[in-house]
Amino acid sequence: MIAGIALLLVLLATLTGAGGIVLMKQGIRGFTWQVHKNKALRAGIGLFIVSTLFFITAINYGELHLLYSLTGLTYVWLLILSHRRLGEPVTKTKIIGTACIIMGVALITLG
C-alpha cells in the first residue's frame, strides 16, 4: 500500500511537472519581466512547484532509485502535451524514443 502511494505521487509529479513545463513554454511567448501579468507562466511555475512537492512526499514512502527512474515518464507526458497544447510535431523517431524510455523505466522498476 505504501509503495502504491509513492507510485501514484510520482506519476502525479511527472504529469504536473510536464504540464508546468508546457504552460511555461506558452507563457514565454511574448515574454516580459512582468511575470505577475503572465497567467500561463505563473500557472506553469505553480504546477512545477506542486510537482516537486508530490515528488518530495513520494520519496518518503519508497526507494529513491526506483521512484526517480519513473521521472523518465515526464518525457512521455511532454510528447503528448506539447503536441496537443503547442502543436509540436510527433515524429516516428520521437515515438520510438518514447517507447525506449517506457521500456527502460519498466526494466528499472521491475528489475
Measuring CA to CA, how many Å separate 38 from each of 30, 45, 61, 71? Answer: 10, 11, 36, 28
Would you list the domain boundaries of the chain?
Answer: 2-110
- Using one digit for the tens of pLDDT, what is the confidence trace for 70-91? 999 999 999 999 999 999 999 9
Q: Higher model confidence: residue 3 or residue 71? A: 71
Of the candidates 18, 12, 34, which has an alpha carbon nearest to the alpha carbon of residue 74? 18
The pLDDT of residue 94: 96
Give the C-alpha separation, 15 to 69, whole Å. Answer: 14
